[in-house]
Amino acid sequence: MRLITTAIVCVTVLAWRPWALAVQETVEFEGAPFSVGVQRRIGVKLLPIEDQASYALAAVLPQDTASVDLVELKWPKSSQTCTLAVARSGAAGNRQGAAAHTSLALLVKDGEPQRLAIDPALSEGIVGRICVWCTRGDEQGDLMVLCSLGASAPDARVCAFSVSPDGSVHAIDTGNAATLFGWFDCTDLDDDGTFELITARSLDGIVGGFEYHAVRQFDVASSKYLAAPDKFHQFFSDELAWLEWVVETRAAIQADPEKYLNASGEGQAYQATYQGRSYGFDSVIELPQSAAAPETISAYNAERRKAFELIRAYRDQLKVWLGGGAQPSAWKIAG
């Protein structure tokens, strides 16, 4: 018998996403070296390093920049554009003993290049995902650019900036939002013209396992992202339904594991489908005992039982909150 090792899975693919049916959502842009989601009415394309914008942006980027990716964003119903530069320097440039750093810079057409101010600690991470939406449906709106940094670590921080058509750039407070492996999404859950920030955190404590979500609403008056779970009961009701399925499916897999084995040999060994999306269950499935390695399997199974109990406890607490009770304890530490 082989001992199953849980692999790191791409949360962008496996993440539970009921908000995909929202009135307004971001769509994925293919081709960038990092994940990019943009509001449908915003134009987006990659620019070659030889583009004129690259020379202008070089003036504000570190001198030891080793690589630059250029993403051009176009305002709705307008020819006005903004170029976002994602640069890596330091160790990325093979400087012995130098740490690698990420820098972000913006150039609005006919304006001056600006380097974005990010926390020095975050600059040591890499860009995991970028999402962009516009505050209006025309050229008068501000582009809201959100970016996760630190995707190589379990928790990545999300920073945000507003970009005006005249080139003004302002940092947006995201409430110290943190997310799992750099994944996050932006979508208009309540159809009010602003896009909520949805982040993910580990639910069962195992890499590649299950996750839960936090929702932050953009407050126009304060220009901040604020936690607002009470405004999105339907979102969490849908998440509760998914958790109920996870609990029931885990029991079904334990009872008949062969039925759920992944024959492809790729990804997690035990998988099941919910609303057309496949989920791996390796983080919560116990293995039969074996005389060959009883202690190893016992320890493995104990970890899986603990992971499942975390899921079941969160399910129960979420049900209490939706019924008018206290918030789930995990939300006190959730990003």
Going by C-alpha positions, the residue among 195, 229, 186 that lies closest to residue 330 is 229
**Hunting for tokens 């492809």 — which residue is that?**
264
**pLDDT confidence of residue 100:** 76
Say yes or no: 28 and 170 in one domain. yes
Number of independent structural domains in the chain: 2
Say yes or no: 276 and 165 in one domain. no
Say yes or no: 289 and 141 in one domain. no
**158-178 pLDDT, tens digit each:** 999 999 999 999 999 999 999
Say yes or no: 277 and 150 in one domain. no
Local confidence band at 11 (pLDDT 50, 70, 90 cut-offs): very low
**Summary count for the chain: helices (H), strands (E):** 5, 18
Ranking 37-46, 221-230, 286-295 by mean pLDDT, the lowest is: 286-295
Ranking 98-102, 196-200, 327-331 by mean pLDDT, the lowest is: 98-102
* Residue 8, domain member (yes or no): no
**pLDDT confidence of residue 20:** 52
- As to burial, measured by CB atoms within 10 angstroms (0-12 exposed, 13-18 middle, 19+ buried), residue 288 is exposed
Report H helices in 112-206: 120-123
Say yes or no: 160 and 252 in one domain. no
227 forms beta bridges with: 216
* Residue 160, domain member (yes or no): yes
Say yes or no: 174 and 256 in one domain. no
Residue 20, both tokens: 């995909």
Q: H or E stretch including 166?
A: none
Q: Which of 188, 203, 223 is the last residue of a domain?
A: 188
C-alpha 198/C-alpha 18 separation (Å) is 11
Say yes or no: 184 and 313 in one domain. no
**284-319 pLDDT, tens digit each:** 999 998 767 888 999 999 999 999 999 999 999 999
* Residue 178, domain member (yes or no): yes
* Residue 317, domain member (yes or no): yes
Say yes or no: 182 and 242 in one domain. no
Q: How many residues does the chain have?
A: 335
Per-residue pLDDT, averaged over 132-136, amounts to 95
pLDDT at 134 over 70: yes
* Residue 36, domain member (yes or no): yes
Per-residue pLDDT, averaged over 106-126, amounts to 89
* Residue 291, domain member (yes or no): yes
Tell me the residue range of the domain where 256 lies: 238-332
C-alpha 66/C-alpha 228 separation (Å) is 40
Beta strand ranges found along 189-334 (DSSP E) = 196-202, 211-219, 224-227, 271-274, 277-280
* Residue 274, domain member (yes or no): yes
pLDDT at 6 over 80: no
Concatenate the DSSP letters of all residues of 79-130 into one string. Answer: S-EEEEEEEEEGGGGT-TTPPPEEEEEEEETTS--EEPP--HHHHTS-EEEE
* Residue 117, domain member (yes or no): yes
Within 13 Å, how many C-alpha atoms sit on residue 84's CB side? 28
